[in-house]
Amino acid sequence: MKTEILFGYHPVKEVIRAGRRRIIGLYAARKQNRKSTELIKLAETRGIAVFSTSAGELAGLSATDRHQGVCAKVGPYPLVDPDTLTGGGTKSEFSFIVMADSILDSRNLGALMRTALCAGAQGLILPKDRSAPPNSTVSKTSAGAMEHLPVSVVTNLVNTINELKHKHYWIIGLDGTASKSVFDIDRPDRAVLVVGGEEKGIRPLVKKNCDLLVSIPQAGPVDSLNASVAAGIAMYVLCQNRGI
């Protein structure tokens, strides 16, 4: 079985709390602090093996000295089928999904996941190619939010978009050049928010298949909103008065 090392207080805590992955063991520095002691107790209540080790050995396991005194050896991240993100509800029930197109920076993807989970997204759809993978760096950047968020990886975003349209989802693309502001749209009951990469945004064919393109108005002369921040604003506009 393929394994990876998660490191840092929040990713390790959330992978234990989420219970979605197999956890082979928790590795904690012999010189414990309050946070590592908390995680050891949490692991023990879940029947997870705990191994005491040195800070240097933790740095070797995690390939960083920013491990915060704790690592976890875990099984693969549990991807889901895109059909599970839509559920079995009616088209009148509020539901939104985030779709990331060509977000290659792991830190931006982690920040996007963190906001998506907080905003109540049903999940995140990523392309198989042209995307940062849901790995330990993303989990760290998301402060462990990735461990709770359902993520689907698909071969073709356009095919997935068309399948979602058949399920009564409106496909809304974030595009800095769009004339319509995200603040001026009628919020649909079912929406997919498509977020593009930092450099080129949404790819042309994906953009062509969006039902609506929206931008976020900015007062300054510099295009200063990165993908995760822009997506966060748009998510909360879609969720406004939806009871989250």
Q: What is the CATH number of the domain that holds 59?
A: 3.30.1330.30
Helix residue ranges, H only, 176-215: 204-208
Q: Write down the number of H helices and E strands in the chain.
A: 9, 10
- Determine the average pLDDT of the residues in 114-127: 95
Shared-domain flag, residues 102 and 10: no
Last residue of a domain, one of 53, 74, 95: 74
pLDDT of residue 220: 64
- Quote the distance between the C-alpha of residue 39 and its chain's center: 23
Last residue of a domain, one of 39, 74, 109: 74
Q: Answer yes or no: pTM beyond 0.85.
A: yes
Sheet with strand 4-7: strands edge to edge: 4-7, 70-74, 23-29, 50-53
pLDDT band for position 89 (cuts 50, 70, 90): very low
In the chain, what are the helix, strand and coil shares in percent, each to the nearest 5? Answer: 35, 20, 40
- Domain range enclosing 185: 83-239
Shared-domain flag, residues 87 and 70: no
Shared-domain flag, residues 212 and 139: yes
pLDDT band for position 221 (cuts 50, 70, 90): low
User: Is 244 part of a structural domain of the chain?
Assistant: no
Counting residues of the chain whose pLDDT is more than 90, the rounded percentage is 70
